[in-house]
């Protein structure tokens, strides 16, 4: 018999060769219907794959990314099967699951094309095949046989993929008449794929390289229930309206230039103002919490990244070294700020009395992402982290965690993210050998995080085997106005870098000790945070943050001079005010400026000019009537103060 350990720690005994699906059935029939994948000792697998040795397992239901991944990946295979039936001779590139659904890159050949108008017939074919309850069958194949199969089939894309794989690591998945090269995992069969929507068709170069042939990329999404698909499509409609790329363009916040390079956002004046305001807001809070600013360069010697371990881990898959005319001199763009901060810590001796030391920097980092992965501001190649590193003693860890949690809660409140959860990532319960750092320190750190979250009353989930090898962490996921979940802030304990950089402080025993390092970024990155903020608010930012707070609309050219006087007055009161002096009808000006999401519209004409007043309209509300300039200035400043002071009173 083998011992199967469930996530709650309970153990069950089974004959060797038992499958995840059978274990699920053994627990309850209902559960068996709800699970789509299984993790066996941390590795996600097919529910139908036999388990031969003692193992810790986790069954994944729809709400787990692992389940959706298996579901959507299986759906990609199903789509490929349907396409092969409808467009014989089609060759297949790659077909992965993505965050929302899946895609497949296909080459229908020179005599066939697939366009969006063909999608409904492919959907229909998929449904027809799904109902036949085709089984996804895994088969390990020798490399030679794998190559032969796709040579016979004439699919040069798969041949290229296989030729890069090592013999003995290759598996096929078959369902119906369709066979694909794949690592899995997959669903047991197609019958749970009940609702299908193919979303769009795009061009994609084979392997993301424009020197290669352009393939047809077909995106789709599937669900186990029609109702889930209907809800999803409704959400997509709403999300389109709030797409940060669309609103970013409309509000002139940021842009991209093919010439500068993809994935490299260019912040336009209004976006830069917004970002600066967010930065100074956080800087002020951090000052109150004892952070000290530091500034470090965008590159570092290759050696630095060898020491930190980043080179070994990411070197091949990231930007390559920058050489100088000096022979042997090599630098790397920084993918993280931590090593630079370690060197600052190291630049002078520290006593236990000085700790914790907290270095903060809005540090811009660069990470290579494949062009197909890039998306607006949420997936970019260069971004700025609201980064800080705390160097502390083990006995200070819990307090530091609580303080960082305070900062994160403060930010969420100021920006109206009221719906969020946090996840604590701890070690594998069974196997502690894969982690660096002493057992005692880990024990203490994990306990400290759990207690800190409890004391702060956070809505927390605990995940085992999710910690990095160098330390446990706490992540924050916010739900936006449409209920979509975004990962934002993170707090990460690190035993590794202090070791690698040989950091130390002198304890009260006069001996040298290693500090613990905490990485934390409440926003995550400025780019991602602004993207999420746009999608959450639909571009209607809080008054304190919004780039333009008011716009003066003269009803005709005659009142342009008066409009300028008003705007000057308000700007002197620190109210960010524009004038719309275009020669347009007032109705059009009002509509246009409402589209720009400017909170206050100030209409001025004969009546207002004679009485030194403005007619005030609040975006989306009724007219507020006629006011003296100073009265309006007071109104706005009070509103801003209210927003910020309600936050301030919560500090400490
Ligand atoms: Zn697959
Ligand atoms: Zn860091």
Q: What is the DSSP letter of 355?
A: P
What is the whole-number distance in angstroms between the Cα of residue 480 and the centre of ligand 2? 26
15, pLDDT greater than 90: yes
The closest alpha carbon to 63, from 97, 26, 39, 36, belongs to 36
Residue found by looking up tokens 């069974």 in the block: 430
The fraction of the chain above a pLDDT of 90, given in percent, is 80
- State residue 647's pLDDT score: 54
What is the whole-number distance in angstroms between the Cα of residue 188 and the centre of ligand 1? 12
What is the whole-number distance in angstroms between the Cα of residue 141 and the centre of ligand 1? 15
Q: Which ligand is nearest to the CA of 138?
A: 1
Q: What is the DSSP letter of 515?
A: P
For 388-423, write each residue's pLDDT tens digit.
999 999 999 999 999 999 999 988 888 888 889 999
Q: Residues 473, 514, 528, 589: which is the catalytic one? A: 473
Q: Which ligand is nearest to the CA of 94?
A: 1
- State residue 307's pLDDT score: 93
What is the whole-number distance in angstroms between the Cα of residue 99 and the centre of ligand 2? 26
Catalytic residue check, 367:
yes
The closest alpha carbon to 81, from 195, 207, 174, belongs to 174
For 313-346, write each residue's pLDDT tens digit.
777 778 899 999 999 899 999 999 999 999 999 9
Q: Residues 45, 175, 286, 385: which is the catalytic one? A: 385
- Buried (b) or exposed (e) across 354-389, using 16+ Cβ within 10 A? ebbbbbbbbbbbbbeeeebeeebbbbbbbbbbbbbb
What is the whole-number distance in angstroms between the Cα of residue 294 and the centre of ligand 2? 13
CB 2 within 8 A of CB 14: yes
What is the whole-number distance in angstroms between the Cα of residue 41 and the centre of ligand 2? 28
**CA angle, corner 328, sides to 324 and 330, nearest 5?**
55
Catalytic residue check, 350:
no
pLDDT band at 651, cuts 50/70/90? very low
Catalytic residue check, 60:
no
Q: How far does the chain reach from its first CA to its final CA, in angstroms?
A: 56
For residue 401, the SS3 value is: helix
What is the whole-number distance in angstroms between the Cα of residue 147 and the centre of ligand 2? 44
What is the whole-number distance in angstroms between the Cα of residue 340 and the centre of ligand 2? 9
> 144: burial class by Cβ within 10 Å (0-12, 13-18, 19+)?
exposed
Mean local confidence (pLDDT), 262-275: 95
- State residue 646's pLDDT score: 56
Q: Residues 403, 519, 528, 576: which is the catalytic one? A: 519
pLDDT band at 652, cuts 50/70/90? very low
For 130-163, write each residue's pLDDT tens digit.
999 999 999 999 999 999 999 999 999 999 999 9
- Buried (b) or exposed (e) across 306-340, using 16+ Cβ within 10 A? ebbebbeebbeebeeeeeeeeeeeebbbbbbbbbb
Q: Residues 338, 342, 392, 453: which is the catalytic one? A: 338
Torsion sign (Cα): 589, 594, 598, 603: positive
What is the whole-number distance in angstroms between the Cα of residue 74 and the centre of ligand 1? 6
For 158-188, write each residue's pLDDT tens digit.
999 999 999 888 999 999 999 999 999 999 9
- State residue 624's pLDDT score: 86
Catalytic residue check, 591:
no
For 58-80, write each residue's pLDDT tens digit.
999 999 999 999 999 999 999 99
Report how many helices (DSSP H) and strands (DSSP E) the chain contains, helices first.
20, 35
Q: Residues 389, 513, 520, 536: which is the catalytic one? A: 389
For 500-517, write each residue's pLDDT tens digit.
999 999 999 999 999 999
Cα gap 165→153, rounded to integer Å:
19
- State residue 627's pLDDT score: 93
What is the whole-number distance in angstroms between the Cα of residue 49 and the centre of ligand 1? 15
Q: Which ligand is nearest to the CA of 387?
A: 2
Catalytic residue check, 46:
no
- State residue 89's pLDDT score: 94
Mean local confidence (pLDDT), 98-120: 94
Q: Residues 387, 494, 548, 580: which is the catalytic one? A: 387
- Is the bond leading into 628 cis (omega within 30 degrees of zero)? no
Give Cβ neighbours of residue 624 (< 8 Å, ≥ 6 apart).
616, 617, 618
648, pLDDT greater than 70: no
What is the whole-number distance in angstroms between the Cα of residue 16 and the centre of ligand 1? 26
- State residue 623's pLDDT score: 85
CB 196 within 8 A of CB 183: no
- State residue 620's pLDDT score: 78
For 585-617, write each residue's pLDDT tens digit.
999 999 999 889 999 999 999 999 999 999 999
For 468-508, write each residue's pLDDT tens digit.
888 899 999 998 888 888 888 899 999 889 999 999 999 99
Q: Which ligand is nearest to the CA of 521?
A: 2
> 264: burial class by Cβ within 10 Å (0-12, 13-18, 19+)?
middle
- State residue 377's pLDDT score: 95
Q: Can you name the residues that pair with 602 across neighbouring β-strands?
A: 552, 616
């Amino acid at each position: 018999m083998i011992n199967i350990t469930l996530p709650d720690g309970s153990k069950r005994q089974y004959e060797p060769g038992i499958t995840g699906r059978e274990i699920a059935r053994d627990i309850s029939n209902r559960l068996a219907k709800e699970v789509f994948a299984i993790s066996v000792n941390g590795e996600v697998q097919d529910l139908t794959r036999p388990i031969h040795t003692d193992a810790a397992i986790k069954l994944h239901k729809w709400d787990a990314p692992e389940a959706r991944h298996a579901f959507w990946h299986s759906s990609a295979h199903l789509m490929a099967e349907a396409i092969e039936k409808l467009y014989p001779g089609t060759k297949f590139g790659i077909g992965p699951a993505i965050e929302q659904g899946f895609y497949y890159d296909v080459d229908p050949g020179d005599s066939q094309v697939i366009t969006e108008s063909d999608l409904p017939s492919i959907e229909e074919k998929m449904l027809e095949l799904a109902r036949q309850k085709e089984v996804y069958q895994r088969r390990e194949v020798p490399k030679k046989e794998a190559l032969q199969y796709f040579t016979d089939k004439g699919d040069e894309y798969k041949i290229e993929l296989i030729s890069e794989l090592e013999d003995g690591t290759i598996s096929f998945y078959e369902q119906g008449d369709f066979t694909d090269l794949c690592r899995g995992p997959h669903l047991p069969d197609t019958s749970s794929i009940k609702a299908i929507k193919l979303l769009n068709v795009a061009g994609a170069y084979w392997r993301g390289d424009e020197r290669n042939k352009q393939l047809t990329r077909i995106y789709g999404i599937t669900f186990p229930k029609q109702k889930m698909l209907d809800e999803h499509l409704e959400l997509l409609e709403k999300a389109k309206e709030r797409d940060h790329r669309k609103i970013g363009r409309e509000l002139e916040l940021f842009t991209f230039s093919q010439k500068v390079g993809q994935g490299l956002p260019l912040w336009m004046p209004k976006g830069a103002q917004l970002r600066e305001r967010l930065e100074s807001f956080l800087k002020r809070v951090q000052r109150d919490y004892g952070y000290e600013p530091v500034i470090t360069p965008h590159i570092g010697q290759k050696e630095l990244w060898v020491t930190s371990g980043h080179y070994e881990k990411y070197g091949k898959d990231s930007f390559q070294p920058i050489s100088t005319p000096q022979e042997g001199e090599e630098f790397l763009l920084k993918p993280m700020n931590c090593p630079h901060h370690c060197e600052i810590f190291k630049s002078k001796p520290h006593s236990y009395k000085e700790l914790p030391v907290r270095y903060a920097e809005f540090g811009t980092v660069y990470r290579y992402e494949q062009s197909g992965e890039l998306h607006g501001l949420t997936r970019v190649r260069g971004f700025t982290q609201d980064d800080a590193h705390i160097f502390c003693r083990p006995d200070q860890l819990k307090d530091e965690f609580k303080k960082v949690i305070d900062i994160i809660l403060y930010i969420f409140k100021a920006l109206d993210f009221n719906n969020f959860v946090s996840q604590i990532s701890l070690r594998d319960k069974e196997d502690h050998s894969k982690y660096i750092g002493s057992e005692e320190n880990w024990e203490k750190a994990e306990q400290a995080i759990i207690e800190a979250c409890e004391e702060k009353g956070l809505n927390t989930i605990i995940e085992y085997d999710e910690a990095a090898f160098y330390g446990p962490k706490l992540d924050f996921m916010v739900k936006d106005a449409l209920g979509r979940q975004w990962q934002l802030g993170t707090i990460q304990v690190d035993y590794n870098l202090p070791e690698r950089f040989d950091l130390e402080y002198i304890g009260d025993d006069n001996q040298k000790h290693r500090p613990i390092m905490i990485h934390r970024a409440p926003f995550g990155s400025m780019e991602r945070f602004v993207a999420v903020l746009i999608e959450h608010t639909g571009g209607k930012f809080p008054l304190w943050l919004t780039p333009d707070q008011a716009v003066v609309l003269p009803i005709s050219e005659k009142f342009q001079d008066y409009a300028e006087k008003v705007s000057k007055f308000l700007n002197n009161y620190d109210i960010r005010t524009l004038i719309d002096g275009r020669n347009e009808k007032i109705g059009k000006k009002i509509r246009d400026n409402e589209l720009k999401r400017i909170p206050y519209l100030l209409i001025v004409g004969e009546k207002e000019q004679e009485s030194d007043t403005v007619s005030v309209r609040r975006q989306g509300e009724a007219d507020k009537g006629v006011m003296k300039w100073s009265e309006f200035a007071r109104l706005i400043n009070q509103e801003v103060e209210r927003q910020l002071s309600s936050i301030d009173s919560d500090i400490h």
